[in-house]
A and B are shown apart, each in its own frame.
Chain A
């Protein structure tokens, strides 16, 4: 796993749909970064990665560096921001909500 800086969230893609997922604070995968569990400790995050990686449900599990301000979680890198928000709204037709069941 690439060297990353805390704080981080755990992200993956859904095996069935490919949708971007985050390990949520409620102990389930969710599609919204706002619902992601934030880890200030990389060791704790690594332990969680091992625990939540289910190859029959998700692929490409990785740690994503974020910044937290006023309880809002934002990715540090623009690539992750695009992963979180989806492609631009100029794409025809407007992309709707991804329906995921894991």
Chain B
């Protein structure tokens, strides 16, 4: 992991001091709410429906066991004993008091963490593959580059007031597990002339106008990465619309300019911005790489695993769903489900956070990851330690064997918390998880993504089944999309038609799943594959309970 140096720590101390002063001035009346709001947002403090919310950055989803324990302490001391892990690989605390937020930020700084740029029209937390450094198909570990980009973008003087927020994701595997084409900039590590290079996708994003990012630059050398990013964001900063926030994302600019014109502007910018990069940034990268360099993991006796896998069906079922092969064959990556049936997706109690931290300390080199699917990953666990990890997780209600199944759904906080939401998401997710618990193994791999408003924090456009909650004449209404995909072949789901009430939605899903089970060629054909093979018409008919004309 990246290790903070004294510069980083001093920077955070100064920022906390500034924020503490800002809060004091707000409480004394020296600052109006209008003046204070942008200042608190720059430190991740939002006002939601029922309380303030603090969004804490977890850079590229990587968190140490010690940091996870610190987050648990914050949850208990200043919140209500739990936190919510988000689709942006961050954590949100839903109940902090404004007066406590400077102390929370100070506690975070002591953990080498912060909430800077988790809000506002800036470059947000860089996200990446939750299996980085462990995945079998990895071309290169994306985390050093994610950290490099984090350092470049943090407090970047030109990019604090962009036309709109800006999200960058980076993938280092053959498979894209970071949904890079749904980001303003998506970076894909590819084999290059000298070690690795980057394909740069631009203009992706979900929300009101969903667009899959376009590959604008190919085979960009590592030395040229930051100049390219600087040029792309600068062109956006200059030409992006500021008159209409719904037209302000880079995807709209790219459509308006056309790809060639945009690309030419970036190339023009590159001609003079190369001077701004004098090579010192490459020295920084060398140091960062050292922090992430992985030695071969120590060999360990695998016998406990082989004994248990034969003898215990519960363990076998958990391994089948929640354990992923590792690039080192006597190791594996463990996905800890934060989706126990009926639970709010992504929530973890302080007790659970500590248990995960303890297991990471004991069996996982003290490292954890937050996945964009709102689960936690221990990336490096010896096979022989899997039985002990399983037992530890079971004691905390964290061993639900459902990764990739119906109940492993993504849901934004929705109207239970979010001031922007137009409908609730969590109870829809809860109802689906409970209703299909007994048949989810039969249904097989299937991802459901639920958003409580058009902003699409629940990524509904790229779910096998997407559910979008809207306000229809004062009643919650849920639109369904089918056929979304989130890999390199990203596809936006097709809207099926009029929305459903909550009760109607469950009946519609019953019919949809019946149709899938009837139409699939074999039990190994997934829902997504069946929809892709047959198209959506028959499934649309099933959703609405009408005769299939096909």
CB within 8 Å of B: which residues of A? 13, 15-20, 55-56, 59-60, 76-79, 82-83, 86-88, 90-93, 95-96, 98
Q: Which residues of B contact A83 (CB under 8 A)?
A: 49-50
Q: How far is the CB of B94 from chain A (nearest CB, A)?
A: 8
CB of B549 to closest CB in A, whole Å: 36
B506 to chain A, nearest CB (A): 16
The answer, yes or no, to whether B99 is at the interface (CB within 8 Å) is: yes
Q: What would 17 more interface pairs be, CB under 8 Å, given A77-B474, A88-B416?
A: A15-B26, A16-B27, A17-B97, A18-B98, A19-B50, A55-B29, A76-B474, A79-B49, A82-B415, A87-B50, A88-B430, A90-B427, A91-B344, A91-B347, A92-B347, A93-B81, A98-B51
Interface contact A79-B415, CB-CB below 8 Å: yes
A93 touches B349 (CB 8 A): yes
- Contact among B28, B80, B427 for A93, CB-based, below 8 A: B80
Q: Contact at A18–B344, with CB atoms within 8 Å?
A: no
**Which residues of B from 313 to 336 have beta carbons under 8 Å from A?**
none
Residues of A near B98 (CB, < 8 A) are 15-18
Known A-B contacts A20-B50, A87-B417; the reply to A92 vs B29 at CB < 8 A is no
Instruction: Give the shortest distance, in Å, between A94 (CB) and chain B (any CB).
Output: 9
Q: Mark B409-430, 1 if CB is under 8 A from A, else 0.
A: 0000001110000001011001
Nearest-Cβ distance from residue A78 to partner chain B, whole angstroms: 6
Residues in chain A near residue B27, CB distance under 8 A: 15-16, 56
> A78-B474, A82-B416 in contact; A56/B29 too (CB < 8 A)?
yes
Contact between chains at B416 and A91 (CB < 8 Å): yes
State A84–B395 Cα separation when bound (angstroms).
Answer: 35
B349 touches A92 (CB 8 A): yes
Quote the shortest CB–CB distance from A83 to chain B (angstroms): 5
B475 part of interface (Cβ distance < 8 Å): yes
What are 9 A-to-B residue pairs whose CB atoms are below 8 Å? A15-B26, A17-B98, A20-B50, A82-B424, A83-B49, A90-B426, A91-B416, A93-B82, A98-B51
Tell yes or no: B207 within 8 A of A by CB.
Answer: no
B426 — which chain A residues lie within 8 A by C-beta? 87-88, 90-91
Contact A18 B474 (CB under 8 A): no
Separation of A45 and B386 alpha carbons in the complex (Å): 63
Q: In the complex, A24 Cα to B264 Cα: how many Å? A: 61
Determine the chain A residues whose CB is within 8 A of the CB of B476 once the complex forms.
Answer: 78
Say what secondary structure dominates the interface of chain B.
mixed
* B residues less than 8 Å from A76 (CB atoms): 474
B52 sits at the interface (CB 8 A): yes
> By the criterion CB–CB under 8 Å, are A90 and B474 in contact?
no
> In the assembled complex, how far is the CB of residue B97 from the closest CB belonging to chain A, in whole angstroms?
5
* Residue numbers in B under 8 Å from A98 (CB-CB): 50-51
B444 at interface by CB-CB < 8 Å: no
* CB proximity of A58 to chain B, nearest CB, Å: 9
**Chain A residues with Cβ under 8 A from B48's Cβ?**
18
Alpha-carbon separation in the docked complex, A61 to B511 (Å)? 45
Q: Across the interface, name the chain A residue whose C-beta is closest to B422.
A: A79
- CB-CB under 8 A from A79, the residues of chain B are 49, 415, 471
Contacting A at CB under 8 A, from B1-56, are: 26-29, 32-33, 47-52
- B416 and A96 contact, CB distance less than 8 A: no
- Interface contact B474-A88, CB-CB below 8 Å: no
Select the residue from B52, B417, B430, B475 with max chain A CB neighbours within 10 A.
Answer: B52
Measured between C-beta atoms, what is the minimum distance from B95 to chain A in Å? 8
Knowing A87-B416, A92-B82, A93-B349 touch, does A82 contact B343 (C-beta < 8 A)?
no
In the complex, which residue of chain B has the Cβ closest to the Cβ of A79?
B415
Asked whether B47 lies within 8 Å of A13 as measured between CB atoms, the reply is yes
Is B392 at the interface (CB under 8 A from chain A)?
A: no
